[in-house]
């Protein structure tokens, strides 16, 4: 099991040089890690604004899909010359964006969204970052795997928009999920309610998420 949790925030996830530094940081540890990743710089706010626009604009789902796909594609072209690997990463990106499109389109049809649906939509920035990061890690020779909080077993108190981690329900599940000597990439900022719903951890959620994981696995740092 990794004993170090490393968190990369959105402010340093912007351009090719940023991701090259992230790769070098991970290589310098030279050991299994838990890497917690935020959404790319500006993406979380973009999703907040898109949620509101989706209530009145039936074109917003496709606009969001196109914008985020283009953002990821341009960066991947500069970071991964291997066309086959790049296409595999883009396939993963498209799968996540297709799911996001479905939810935003649903909001445009009803003109409304429940707190549970809003939290779920806002989690997509971190989900995209995780699959993106796995791709550039693989190209850099860093064997890694993505694990989402719903598979990790990070359970919250179920409060939408500002959830807290329930350590009594989470600790054993998280430890059991992170047993391999591997580099785990985990999208930060959200956990799962006792009913299985996505719950955002609130402002600076990825910092809190990383610290919570460190507690669950008794990390040394």
What values do phi and psi take at 162, rounded to 5? -160, 55
Write down the pTM of the prediction: 0.94
Residue 202 has pLDDT above 90, yes or no: no
Q: How confident is the model at residue 74 (pLDDT cuts 50, 70, 90)?
A: very high
Contact 108, 58 (CB under 8 A): yes
Per-residue pLDDT tens for 135-161? 999 999 999 999 999 999 999 999 999
Mean per-residue pLDDT, 158-171: 96
- State both tokens at 137: 């890690």
> How many C-alpha atoms does 101 have within 13 Å on its Cβ side?
15
Q: Where are the alpha helices (DSSP H) in the chain?
A: 16-29, 43-54, 60-79, 83-110, 115-122, 124-139, 149-152, 167-177, 205-216
Ramachandran quadrant class, 202 (left: phi over 0; alpha: psi -120 to 50; beta: rest): left
Per-residue pLDDT tens for 77-87? 999 999 999 99
Residue 204 has pLDDT above 90, yes or no: no
């Amino acid at each position: 099991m990794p004993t170090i949790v490393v968190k990369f925030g959105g402010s340093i996830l912007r351009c090719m040089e940023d991701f090259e530094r992230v790769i070098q940081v991970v290589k310098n540890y030279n050991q299994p890690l838990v890497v917690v990743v935020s959404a790319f710089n500006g993406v979380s706010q973009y999703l907040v604004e898109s949620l509101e626009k989706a209530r009145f604009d039936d074109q917003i789902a496709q606009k969001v899909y196109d914008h985020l796909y283009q953002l990821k594609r341009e960066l991947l072209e500069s970071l991964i010359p291997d066309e086959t690997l790049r296409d595999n990463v883009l396939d993963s990106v498209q799968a996540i964006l297709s799911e996001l499109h479905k939810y935003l389109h649903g909001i445009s049809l009803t003109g409304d969204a429940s707190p549970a649906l809003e939290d779920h939509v806002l989690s997509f920035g971190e989900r995209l970052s995780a699959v993106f990061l796995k791709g550039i890690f693989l190209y850099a020779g860093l064997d890694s795997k993505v694990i989402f909080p719903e598979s990790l077993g990070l359970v919250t108190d179920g409060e939408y928009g500002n959830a807290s981690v329930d350590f009594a329900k989470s600790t054993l599940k998280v430890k059991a999920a992170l047993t391999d000597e591997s580099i785990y990439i985990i999208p930060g900022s959200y956990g799962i309610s006792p009913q299985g719903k996505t719950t955002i951890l609130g402002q600076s959620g990825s910092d809190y998420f990383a610290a919570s994981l460190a507690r669950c696995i008794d990390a040394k740092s």
